[in-house]
Amino acid sequence: MKVLKFGGTSVGSSSNISKVIKIIKQESVSENILVVVSAVGGITDKLLLAADKAIDKDLSYKEDFEALRLKHIEVIDGLLSGEVHEATTDIVLGHLSRLEKLLDGVYLINELSPKTTDKLLSFGELISSLIIYEAIKSKGVNVQLKNSQNLIVTDSNFTNAAVNFEETNANITTYFENNQKMVTVLPGFISKSENDEITTLGRGGSDYTAAILAAALNASILQIWTDVSGMFTTNPKMVKHAKPINKLSYLEAIELSHFGAKVLYPPTVQPVLRKDIPLLIKNTLAPEDPGTLITKIVENGSQFPIKGISNINNVSLLTLQGNGMVGIPGFSKRLFETLAHSKINVIIITQASSEHSICIGISDKDAKTAKTVIDKEFENEISLFKIDPLVIEPNLSIVAVVGDKMKSHQGISGKMFSTLGKNNVNIRAIAQGASERNITAVISESDVKKALNALHEQFFEEQTKQMNLFISGVGNVGKSLLDQIKQQKKYIKSTFNINLKVVALSNSKTMVFDENGLNLTKWESLLEDGQPTEPMAFFEASKILNLRNSVFIDITANEAVSQTYAHYLKHSIAVVACNKIACSSGIENYKELKQLSHKYNVPFLFETNVGAGLPVIDTLKNLIVSGDRITSINAVLSGSLNFIFNNFNKNTSFHDVVKGAQVEGDTEPDPRIDLSGVDVARKLLILARESGEMLEMETIKNKAFLPKECMEANSVQAFYETLKTNEAEFQKLVQSAEANKCQLKYVAELKDGVSSVGLKEIPVGHPFYNLEGKDNIVMFYTNRYSDQPMIIKGAGAGSEVTASGLFADIIRISNTH
């Protein structure tokens, strides 16, 4: 014999009930089946809501009741016709009439006792089982209807009655020995006490009814039909890549259920566990899905030690502590007895080995009561300062990693805690059972989604790491980066197991967010329709999303944006900066950002600050890490200035060359930023700091070649006019270089802590002499490279090469963070 239980969603509409009937006919071909049904979806909660309104003298409870009545009539109309329809409707309306009278009584006496609650709630299953019985019968199936209240006997603990198994099992076996039908339909959840009073079995009661029947009759299998395809590796509503678990042991299922997997309620498993009856969880709406099979021992299942990750929200952590607890027996006993007397359930327990404190996790709703009764119990010890008043931390969640094989695998807890730590998930308490079947952590409720996604990625997603990118700045470089991500996304995922997802974009006016990833084929229109932004608003929105493996990428030249880096780092959001302002700002700010990166173990990369896509800073870091010491740096660090002086000669005007460079996008909108040498000085300052010289911007000598008149022009247009009037001065520079058979290059130099930037005449044979186009070149002289420097040379400007440098930093973070 099989036992099938169908949940509220399964019987929530006539179309779903039709699917249920199809399943029942298929399952009853080989052996007789019992069908246990819940109330029509949501009816129980709606009845309780209507009752609450009646207590509060809110007459809208009548409207709620009328909606329930119409819902049941709608289901009957969709399933039955003719005389059966009329007869069934009459019976259902009779039940509903009695239900309405009960609600009216609650309204009149302004009270709802547990006993009356059970009477109210019993109608849902009685009605749904009748409707399904008549629908199955109308299809010609050999079926009978049996009221579970005549089989399951309980005590009088209304709303959560305890089963008298001896009497119940005797009733069940006697009835089915004498009544052999192909299909028997029974209402779940409801029962009767030894005094013949209506009772209910509490949360998960219909599942419990089915398990009781299966155990009493030694059923071949218990099938739980619900609206999901089994138990999942984690909550699919929070983790997109969660997947059904094919096989679980009873104990694994209990652990997952205890820690919040709502498909199953732990007491459900107990009766079938004792009889080693397999339990199969299936999806009524997708019956072809395999579901989850739960057995005593999982044979030929996955050898992977982790089966699932579960969580419980709305948890408060209670801490009882004090020096007076050390070495004194009885504190724990008194604590738990006090909670038990107040009917407060303890979810998790952890105690320090010093015996100085004990922590327990309970539901948020019980926290206030718990503090009152515990402080009362330990009133004397608190007054003598032997222990402290109870400390409550609300709004927490429990995350549990579960699996039978965990105890034989090393490193599971290490992976769990390091994954949470890397994502800035603070752990408030830890517990692990002696069976080593679960590892539990208490964290902030706001971190649950990030924690579940990060842990699921670590344990279940074939080592594919999802990187969530928050990009500020969509100018030429930003556009190139988005194009490169779009082009290389599939390759990066297939080759490196890295899934790049752009979840946020901003420009100077608007921002747009999508935690599932923005569509990069239409990002411009999405951003145009975005919400207003400013740097801190973009950070706050990023923080609220709280995604794992988050990276903020600054592709602006905005000082306000650079001032948000510390906020990102403190929330374990990696920072990739194309913007040079932060690293060339005051030395204390530079040091703070470096320290935050180290403290929170989160990358802060800025490779493109110097040399665009060239590996200048990374090479410098590797030299330092390997124990080498930089003795001097000589470099041409401005692709814009190199382009200008490579094209400026006696046959061209300085004005035309600079204007052409600006039109091509090779200078800033105001070319004075490039021509002043400030940009080069910033780059040299960054290299100096990365080599160990803690310099300030003011210590770099800037040998300006632009006349004062050019620098002080009140607009860009006026600046260009001053270039024309000073052409003779610029031609003198060219003439002097030609006379000395030299090339003009804007050079940055650092030696013995002394630094400078300025225009220099470079002689033939020098590595800088033939530097073409917009190329950069950097020469590192070190203790090891004392005679011949290490030279890095290549394109040092341009949106595509700069974007490729940013891309490289993103991949570098993906491989290390």
Query: Which residues are designated catalytic?
Result: 683
Residue 601, both tokens: 């173990």
| DSSP string for residues in 357-388 | EEEEEEEGGGHHHHHHHHHHHTHHHHHTTSSP
Distance in angstroms (rounded) separating the CA atoms of residues 813 and 467: 9
Distance in angstroms (rounded) separating the CA atoms of residues 308 and 544: 26
Distance in angstroms (rounded) separating the CA atoms of residues 720 and 654: 10
The answer to whether the beta carbons of residues 244 and 230 sit under 8 Å apart is yes
Residue 567, both tokens: 């906020």
Taking CA atoms, 249 is separated from 5, 216, 471, 763, in Å, by: 20, 21, 45, 79
CA atoms within 13 Å, Cβ hemisphere of 815: 9
Residue 251, both tokens: 């104990």
**Which residue is associated with the tokens 């700069």?**
802
Q: At what angle do helices 616-625 and 678-690 cross, to 10 degrees?
A: 20
Backbone angles phi, psi at 205, to 5 degrees: -60, -35
**Residue 152 contacts by C-beta under 8 Å, 6 or more apart in sequence?**
163, 168, 171, 190, 191, 192, 201, 209, 212
Residue 144, classed as helix, strand or coil, is strand
The one-character DSSP state at 405 is G
Strand partners, 252: none
Distance in angstroms (rounded) separating the CA atoms of residues 692 and 696: 12
Nearest residue to 508 (alpha-carbon basis) of 480, 474, 482 = 474
Residue 440, classed as helix, strand or coil, is strand
Distance in angstroms (rounded) separating the CA atoms of residues 451 and 422: 10
**Which residue is associated with the tokens 């060219």?**
734
In 381-464 the beta strands, taken as DSSP E runs, fall at 391-402, 427-432, 438-444
**Residue 515 contacts by C-beta under 8 Å, 6 or more apart in sequence?**
468, 503, 545, 547
Distance in angstroms (rounded) separating the CA atoms of residues 320 and 328: 14
The answer to whether the beta carbons of residues 349 and 360 sit under 8 Å apart is yes
Distance in angstroms (rounded) separating the CA atoms of residues 665 and 657: 13
The answer to whether the beta carbons of residues 316 and 367 sit under 8 Å apart is yes
Residue 791, both tokens: 């030279």
Tally helices (H) and strands (E) across the chain: 29, 30
Buried b / exposed e along 364-387 (16+ C-beta atoms within 10 A): eebbeebbebbbebbeebbeeebb
Helix/strand/coil percentages in the chain, nearest 5? 45, 20, 35
Distance in angstroms (rounded) separating the CA atoms of residues 279 and 271: 11
Distance in angstroms (rounded) separating the CA atoms of residues 417 and 442: 11
Helix (H) or strand (E) holding 198: strand 198-200
Chain mean position to CA 87: 52
* Helices assigned H by DSSP within 276-378: 331-341, 367-377
For residue 422, count CB atoms less than 10 angstroms from its CB and return exposed for 0-12, middle for 13-18, buried for 19 or more. middle
**Which residue is associated with the tokens 């019980």?**
366
First CA to last CA distance, the chain: 54
**Which residue is associated with the tokens 């490779």?**
607
Strand partners, 472: 506, 554
